[in-house]
Each structure stands twice: as structure tokens, then as C-alpha cells.
């Protein structure tokens, strides 16, 4: 989380600093309308910058995964930047429209406009003059694109809005972005283009436009998609969990335990799932274990059939258990057990390559004897010490209980996958006891 916080605030600070090199928020003489002029430019830069970076992240660029610690963190940054763009664009809109309303109500008196630039000396239209002629159109289109983007972003933040509708509507933010890019190109102060803030804005216009087109053409992840066939399905009714085995066609380059992929069937939309199996190039199958947590996942056991063709895109993620600690403590809460199953299978297949001591805690509200038996078999084969805690029987898992069970916990790194709030609580607990924050690794599988 530290990396994406730094990326968020770093990008905003850089944009602010570059803009301040070109202008000021304290114009002279100071007044409502002079301030409105510069603030409209500044808020536009921040809103457009945040939306552009968010749009680039939506294309799932592989080169940003490692620096930002995985696609799950990239999508969290995507969400934060989207909220930033939403807030700043509302403020930007208010200074634009609110001022016009207040002038109409007689609360403000608009000063007379200064002389506007015209054609060049030879009568030819200059670029600056041509951009001025587009202001009215850019303002109108920008206003309607803002309304559309506002609705789409608010819908994306409403958890009760069904996933399949979210997935279908969210991509249209790319179309709104293209209109807002035109709005920005025309209304960005012409003098800025020859300064560092202008160079950065030009780069963002290009990168954001290319990214938006890729989204609209459904080309995101095109080079990482491979088809597969559903080989077997097993539904654990008490847990509302579906185990799906998919045999991959040639082209899948393998994956590391702990990574995830987007899976899309013929009748549904791509959805991210963590892979619950390590890659075996001989068998060439991937196992996904999914729990009914929403409208999409709750229907999977009814719509998927053996023999169905699906498209798998990936792999993604950096939750791959790589560090130099002599001991690791894993916490797989509920369906968050999935990446640890894959890792145990990898360890069992190549025990000599894995010398780290591991304790796996699996707190769960639901209990299924068959599922736990499979988990115990994986743990035994991998040499992992398993702690299964059923809420009603054993009580809740706490940091203190974990420290009592693992006396040398101070030498360990912690790997958590499960509910976000639970992960935050455990992280705060262990950091408070002296564990470095960088030694607590958390998978953010809630990507919306």
C-alpha cells in the first residue's frame, strides 16, 4: 500500500509543482474572477492528470506491475485516482457553472473581456486563434462528458450495483475521457504549452488517448489471453465454493503460485480470480476456487459446464512469496486461502527448492469436511503447519493467538489474503509489535 500511496501523492505533487512553475494561485490584482481563471486551469490539470493515469492503469500495463507491487495494487490506485478526478472535476465544474449562475442571479458582475488574439499578420489563422474558436464547443462537450463520467464513476463506487452492469458500463468512461481530452486540449492555457507543465500534459494527452482507444476496442490484455476448456467442476454446497479445473491450450506461459487471472466465458464478462494451483507444464491445467460473494460468482456453478471454452488472461500479481525471511506466516481468511493452496502444491512438487518454515492460519466461518481434508493433504505434502480456526468453534483469529502459536514470529514475514479490514487490523497489530510494515504482504483482491 505504501507504494501506491506514494504514487498517488507523488503524481499530484508533481503536477502541482509543474503548474506552479507556470502560474500562481495568487494573481495580482487578487479578486474573484482572476482567482477563478487560474484555479480553473489548476483544477483542470489535476482532474485530467488523475483521470489520465487512471486510464493508463486500466490497460493493465505489465511494466508497471513490479514497481506498484502487482495489478491488485494498480487497481486500488486506479480507484483512488478516479475518486481524485471525480472530486476535483466537481470542484472545477462548480467554479465554471456556479460562477455563471451567480452572475445570472446578480450576485457577481463579470468584468469586461480583454482583447482576444486574432489571425496572424498575413491573415492566416494561427493555432492559438483556432483553439480559441473551438472554446464554445469544447465547453459544451466537456460539460456533458463530465455529467456522463460523474454518473459512471458514482455507479462504480456503489457496491450493490451488479458486477455485470458495472463491467459493461465502466468501459464507457473511456469515451467520456476522449471528449474531456478534447476539452483539455482546447481550454488549456496556450502559454503553458511551451513550459514543463505543457510538455507533461501533451504526453498525458497522447498516453490517455491511446489507452482509451485500447479500452473501447477491447484490446486490453490482448497479448496475454489464451483459451482453455473446463475440464471438471466441483461445488462445495456448505461453503458456496466452486472448484473449476481448466485445461489450457498451447500459449499459456505458466504462472507463479499466488498470481491471478481474468477468466471470461462465452456468456459472461471477464472476472479476476486467484489461481489455486501451481503450473505443471505436463498437465497444463489451472484450478480456480471461487466463492459466491456477488451476483457474478453466485451464478457460476449454474452457468459453467464441463467442456465450455473460456478465455484466461494473465497471469497478474506479485503476491508470490518472494523474500529472504527464514520463516513465513500465511493467513488465508475464507476464500483468501486460494493463493496458499497453489503455493503448497508448488512446494510439494519441489521440496528441495523451499527451505522456509511456514505456518498457515485458515480462519473460516464455514466448515466443509471434504474441503478441509484437501487442504490438510496439501499442507502435509508441502510440510506446512496448518491451523484451521472455525469461527463458531474456535473463536476469532487475533495477532496474539498467532504469536502464541508461532514463538519465533519476529523472524517471519506475513502474507495475508482475505477481507481488507481484517488484513488492516492484523497489519496494525503486528507493526505495533515491531514487525516492519514492508514484511506484511496483503493481496487486495477487491478490485472494484
Among 312, 287, 299, CA closest to 163: 299
Q: Say if domain 2-111+118-216 classifies as CATH 1.20.120.
A: yes
Domain boundaries defined on the chain: 2-111+118-216, 222-316, 327-443
At residue 389, the 3 state secondary structure works out as strand
How many angstroms separate the CA atoms of 261 and 413, rounded? Answer: 25
Q: Is the pTM of this model over 0.95?
A: no
- CATH topology for the 222-316 domain: Elongation Factor Tu (Ef-tu); domain 3 (2.40.30)
How many angstroms separate the CA atoms of 448 and 430, rounded? Answer: 27
How many angstroms separate the CA atoms of 153 and 169, rounded? Answer: 10
DSSP β-bridge partners for residue 225: 313
Among 153, 197, 218, CA closest to 19: 197
The secondary structure of 402-426 as a DSSP string is HHHH-TTGGGEEEEEES-HHHHHHH
Span 406-426, pLDDT tens digits: 999 999 999 999 998 999 999
- The pLDDT value recorded for residue 307 is 93
Residue 352 cell numbers, joined: 528441495
- The pLDDT value recorded for residue 352 is 75
Look at phi and psi of residue 44 and say left if phi exceeds 0, alpha if psi is from -120 to 50, else beta. Answer: alpha
Task: Please identify every stretch of the chain with a pLDDT value under 70, giving residue numbers as ranges.
Answer: 1, 114-125, 266-267, 295, 445, 447-448
| Helices and strands in the chain, H and E counts | 15, 11
Cα Rg for the chain, rounded, in angstroms? 26
How many angstroms separate the CA atoms of 386 and 375, rounded? Answer: 9
Phi, psi (5° rounding) for residue 81? -65, -35
- The pLDDT value recorded for residue 447 is 64
- The pLDDT value recorded for residue 125 is 66
- The pLDDT value recorded for residue 134 is 92
* Alpha helices for 158-234 (secondary structure H): 163-170, 173-187, 196-216
The CATH number of the domain covering residues in 327-443: 3.40.50.80
Answer positive or negative: Cα dihedral of 84, 53, 189, 134: negative
At residue 242, the 3 state secondary structure works out as strand
- The pLDDT value recorded for residue 302 is 82
- The pLDDT value recorded for residue 448 is 66
Amino acid at each position: 500500500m505504501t507504494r501506491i500511496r506514494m504514487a498517488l501523492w507523488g503524481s499530484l505533487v508533481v503536477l502541482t509543482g509543474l503548474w506552479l512553475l507556470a502560474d500562481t494561485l495568487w494573481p495580482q490584482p487578487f479578486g474573484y474572477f482572476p482567482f477563478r481563471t487560474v484555479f480553473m486551469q489548476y483544477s483542470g490539470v489535476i482532474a485530467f492528470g488523475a483521470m489520465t493515469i487512471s486510464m493508463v492503469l486500466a490497460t493493465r500495463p505489465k511494466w508497471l506491475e513490479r514497481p506498484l507491487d502487482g495489478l491488485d495494487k494498480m487497481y486500488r490506485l486506479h480507484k483512488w485516482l478516479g475518486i481524485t478526478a471525480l472530486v476535483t472535476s466537481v470542484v472545477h465544474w462548480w467554479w465554471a457553472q456556479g460562477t455563471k449562475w451567480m452572475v445570472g442571479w446578480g450576485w457577481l458582475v463579470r468584468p469586461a473581456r480583454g482583447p482576444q488574439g486574432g489571425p496572424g499578420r498575413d491573415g492566416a489563422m494561427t493555432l492559438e486563434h483556432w483553439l480559441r474558436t473551438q472554446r464554445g464547443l469544447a465547453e459544451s462537450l466537456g460539460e456533458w462528458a463530465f455529467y456522463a463520467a460523474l454518473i459512471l464513476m458514482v455507479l462504480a463506487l456503489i457496491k450493490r450495483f451488479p458486477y455485470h452492469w458495472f463491467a459493461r458500463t465502466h468501459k464507457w468512461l473511456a469515451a467520456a475521457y476522449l471528449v474531456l481530452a478534447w476539452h483539455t486540449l482546447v481550454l488549456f492555457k496556450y502559454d503553458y504549452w511551451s513550459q514543463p507543465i505543457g510538455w507533461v500534459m501533451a504526453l498525458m494527452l497522447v498516453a490517455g488517448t491511446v489507452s482509451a482507444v485500447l479500452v473501447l476496442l477491447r484490446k486490453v490484455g490482448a497479448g496475454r489471453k489464451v483459451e482453455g476448456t473446463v475440464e471438471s467442476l466441483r461445488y462445495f454446497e456448505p461453503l458456496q465454493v466452486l472448484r473449476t479445473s481448466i485445461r489450457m491450450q498451447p500459449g499459456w506461459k505458466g504462472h507463479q503460485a499466488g498470481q491471478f487471472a481474468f477468466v471470461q466465458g462465452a456468456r459472461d464478462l471477464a472476472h479476476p480470480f486467484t489461481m489455486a494451483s501451481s503450473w505443471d507444464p505436463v498437465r497444463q491445467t489451472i484450478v480456480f476456487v471461487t466463492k459466491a460473494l456477488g451476483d457474478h460468482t453466485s451464478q457460476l456453478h449454474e452457468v459453467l459446464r464441463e467442456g465450455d471454452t473460456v478465455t484466461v488472461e494473465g497471469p497478474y500479481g506479485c503476491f508470490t512469496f518472494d523474500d529472504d525471511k527464514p520463516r513465513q506466516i500465511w493467513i488465508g481468511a475464507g476464500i483468501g486461502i486460494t493463493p496458499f493452496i497453489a503455493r503448497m502444491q508448488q512446494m510439494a512438487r519441489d521440496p528441495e527448492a523451499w527451505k522456509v518454515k511456514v505456518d498457515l492460519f485458515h480462519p473460516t466461518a464455514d466448515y466443509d469436511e471434504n474441503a478441509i481434508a484437501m487442504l490438510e493433504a496439501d499442507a502435509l505434502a508441502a510440510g506446512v503447519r496448518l491451523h484451521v480456526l472455525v469461527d463458531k468453534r474456535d473463536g476469532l483469529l487475533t495477532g496474539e493467538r498467532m504469536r502464541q502459536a508461532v514463538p519465533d514470529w519476529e523472524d517471519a514475514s506475513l502474507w495475508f489474503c482475505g477481507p481488507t479490514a481484517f488484513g488492516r487490523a492484523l497489519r496494525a497489530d503486528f507493526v505495533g509489535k515491531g514487525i516492519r510494515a514492508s514484511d506484511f504482504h496483503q493481496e487486495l483482491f477487491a478490485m472494484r
